[in-house]
Structure 1
Amino acid sequence: MATDRKKRQMPLGLVKIREFNKENLKTCGFQLICHVMQEFKKEQNKLRTYVNEILHSIFFLGIIHEDCLTPVDILNAQNASAEILRQEFPEPFGKYKSHLPKRTPFSILLDIMQLTFGTKENIMNELCSLMKRLKFPYPLDRPANKNQRYYTLESTVICVCSNSRCTSQEYFGASLGCRTEKAKSIMIYSSCLNTWHEYVSYAVMSFQHQTKGDSLQFHESMQCQAYIRDWKENTYKERQPCMNCTRLFSLPEGTEQEHYPYGNCAETECLSKLLINDQFMRENTEIRNYTTDKMDMLKDSTRKLLQEKLASIPSLSYINNDDLLWFNPNKGPS
């Protein structure tokens, strides 16, 4: 019996990695919440919706962590400000187990940065400055390494796209800031069903469910550039699209290796925003083999996969798999 117990024990090295990852998520989540609350004090009317959403997203990623981290764990319940936060924003505390987030914390942060600083150059400079102040650890050493510092909540890549016919408007996107397979899959499936423009969702789902997917062909006026943060120099540098994005969006062929599933990259989010907001781009984007019947079939398959992932997480016992709910930060307490 003692021998069996010994076999089941986790190796000390993995125990330390798991503990490191847990503390990383708690620390980075708390630091990010403190930052957005400071910004909220300056611009309450503008930022209330974003704070609601980012709190819920952080709490959700915490509860699906293997150690089931609650808002109390992340906020340090001994701190009186935690209860003040709960009173100011009751919805995230009440719905992090029952409602799915529409996007990751860093994606929401990126919207706050755009609202505050406006231009691409200012946003990237301020993001680098913020990451340095928050002292987030380097989130990625080798993409294929499973023993990573998974939970820094930082997206390693951001992307900016625009319509050159209307150069004043830029759209920003972030790669997924969650690096475990389960969390990443949940966010991709959830985004396909309830966040991204239907063309982008269709393309992502078709490549996930088919041997050969159906790509988008944007109008030639679409411009798209991704940037990765150079951690040592603390600056964003241009990055070529990976092969997944080349296939999905007919982008110029890139050289990056494929370590992530379709839908993970920052291009997905910013191109979705472009389609949602730009009528010309919607009307002049071609999507191969698209039909409403095929879209419905892909959604059904994706919903089933999402339900299976959620059902495997005991801490999400309040989520109703038959009627999935998404968190709406604009809705008042109910």
Structure 2
Amino acid sequence: MASAAKRKKLNYVKQLQDSRESLITCGLLLIHHVMEEYKNKQNMLRRHVNEILHSIFFLGVIYTGGLTPDQFLSATLAEGLRQEFPEPFEKYRSHLPKRTPFSILLDIMVLKYDTEEKVMEELRSLLKKLKFPYPLNKPGNKHQHVYTLESTVICISSNNMCPSKKYFGASLGCKTDKAKSIMIYSSCINTWHKYVSYSVMSFTHTQESEGLQFPGSMKCQAYLRNWQDNTYKEIPPCKNCKRIFSLQGEGTEQKFYPFGNCAETECLSKLLINDNFMQENTEIKNYTRENMSDLETKTINKLREKLVSIPSLTNMLNRDCLPVFNPDSGK
């Protein structure tokens, strides 16, 4: 029995080490990629580099045992990035990110390529080039072995009245329930459109869905990446997303995918933020300022509960409000 217990402990320690090393490797790969993009389009991408650095550093510091920026970077790279982008280094322990690194990467792809087909093609090509490790022994295995920073699912929404305009979203590209909860709570408070946030928060706190009713011209399709052949396959919404967003189809039982099941929240939030017709014609039950305030208070309390277990974030928790990183500040 002692030998079996010892082997189990050693396996667990090895999995933690492998996952930690993978997080460092994948973070560095993303940083190198966005810096190459930045060299070509500095004015356009400065805020994206600021934001992705902060998001990677934040996910590192909240990971088991904690990681500092210097553990992601070589000394030379760290020195250069600190001079050019000082704020992510100064604020990764004091300010919340608004989204995960893969979500920011997806935005860069959309800025660079002008059609859905080209974005998808170039995203597959980039992921093949980056060679993020396969995170599971087999699909559906909850015990993922590594941390890749890749979102499992992406989703694309549009208004059929303006079909050329597409809005991309990514599932949560982060590991552990703690990190996922922190990013969901932060997104509800700081990132997503108020209708999306309201629906997600009401479902999170009450298990009752204050479902959104989008106009019939709304289109939304999620895609799951197949690691074996590097393709994105259409998947139906899970039952929770169907309820929350009144999506078409029967809805499926929510299977487990590493690094997030659902990307509908982000892409539908972008649709509402950017499309006036959708804003004005989307209906939501029981939405009032008072109900929204109550849900926000509950969500902030839940967020603080998660953050309080991370000793290196005490500067953030000592403030009256939880500050959010602004990628447009600085130079």
Instruction: Please classify the TM superposition score into its range, dividing by the shorter chain length.
Output: over 0.9
- Measured after TM superposition, the shift of residue 146 of structure 1 is 4.1
**Distance in 1, Cα, partners of 2:306 & 2:140:** 22
- The yes-or-no answer on 1:116 pairing with 2:108 is no
**Distance in 1, Cα, partners of 2:142 & 2:164:** 41
- The yes-or-no answer on 1:166 pairing with 2:162 is yes
Q: Which amino acid aligns with 1:89?
A: F
Corresponding position of 1:37: 35
> Relative to structure 1, is the Cα distance of residues 326 and 27 closer, same or farther in structure 2, using a 3 angstrom cutoff?
same
What runs of 5+ residues in structure 2 fail to find an aligned partner? none
Report the secondary structure of 1:317's partner residue. helix
Corresponding position of 1:209: 205
**Distance in 2, Cα, partners of 1:293 & 1:143:** 43
Matches within 5 A, 1:173-184: 173-184=169-180
**Distance in 1, Cα, partners of 2:32 & 2:186:** 27
Matches within 5 A, 1:1-334: 11-77=9-75, 80-140=76-136, 145-252=141-248, 253-259=250-256, 265-320=262-317, 321-332=319-330
**Distance in 2, Cα, partners of 1:166 & 1:69:** 44
**Distance in 1, Cα, partners of 2:304 & 2:194:** 20
- Measured after TM superposition, the shift of residue 264 of structure 1 is 6.0
Report the secondary structure of 1:319's partner residue. helix
- Measured after TM superposition, the shift of residue 166 of structure 1 is 1.1
Q: Which amino acid aligns with 2:161?
A: R
Q: Which amino acid aligns with 1:223?
A: K
- Measured after TM superposition, the shift of residue 82 of structure 1 is 1.7
- Measured after TM superposition, the shift of residue 141 of structure 1 is 5.1
Report the secondary structure of 2:315's partner residue. coil
Q: Which amino acid aligns with 2:244?
A: L
Report the secondary structure of 1:228's partner residue. strand
Aligned-CA RMSD value: 2.0
Q: Deviations over 1:165-210 (max 9, x none)?
A: 1112110000000121000000000000010000000000000111
Report the secondary structure of 1:236's partner residue. strand
Deviates more, 1:12-21 or 1:236-245: 236-245
Q: Which amino acid aligns with 2:325?
A: F
> Relative to structure 1, is the Cα distance of residues 272 and 140 closer, same or farther in structure 2, using a 3 angstrom cutoff?
farther
- Measured after TM superposition, the shift of residue 243 of structure 1 is 1.0
> Relative to structure 1, is the Cα distance of residues 311 and 212 closer, same or farther in structure 2, using a 3 angstrom cutoff?
same
**Distance in 2, Cα, partners of 1:11 & 1:201:** 40
Q: Is the 8 A contact 2:18 2:146 kept in 1?
A: no
Identity over the aligned pairs, expressed in percent?
A: 64
- Measured after TM superposition, the shift of residue 109 of structure 1 is 0.2
Q: Which amino acid aligns with 1:277?
A: N
> Relative to structure 1, is the Cα distance of residues 64 and 9 closer, same or farther in structure 2, using a 3 angstrom cutoff?
farther
Report the secondary structure of 1:166's partner residue. coil
> Relative to structure 1, is the Cα distance of residues 10 and 93 closer, same or farther in structure 2, using a 3 angstrom cutoff?
farther
**Distance in 2, Cα, partners of 1:143 & 1:89:** 38
- Measured after TM superposition, the shift of residue 10 of structure 1 is 7.3
- Measured after TM superposition, the shift of residue 235 of structure 1 is 1.3
**Distance in 2, Cα, partners of 1:268 & 1:232:** 27
- Measured after TM superposition, the shift of residue 32 of structure 1 is 0.5
**Distance in 1, Cα, partners of 2:295 & 2:256:** 23
**Distance in 2, Cα, partners of 1:281 & 1:244:** 21
Report the secondary structure of 1:11's partner residue. helix
Q: Which amino acid aligns with 1:63?
A: V
Report the secondary structure of 1:153's partner residue. coil
- Measured after TM superposition, the shift of residue 312 of structure 1 is 0.8
Report the secondary structure of 2:330's partner residue. coil
- Measured after TM superposition, the shift of residue 259 of structure 1 is 4.2
Q: Deviations over 1:312-334 (max 9, x none)?
A: 1112122135211000000116x
> Relative to structure 1, is the Cα distance of residues 143 and 192 closer, same or farther in structure 2, using a 3 angstrom cutoff?
farther
Q: Deviations over 1:142-184 (max 9, x none)?
A: 6764421342000011111000011121100000001210000
- Measured after TM superposition, the shift of residue 213 of structure 1 is 2.1
Report the secondary structure of 1:220's partner residue. coil
- Measured after TM superposition, the shift of residue 292 of structure 1 is 1.2
- Measured after TM superposition, the shift of residue 268 of structure 1 is 0.3
Deviates more, 1:21-30 or 1:67-76: 67-76
Q: Is the 8 A contact 1:128 1:234 kept in 2?
A: yes
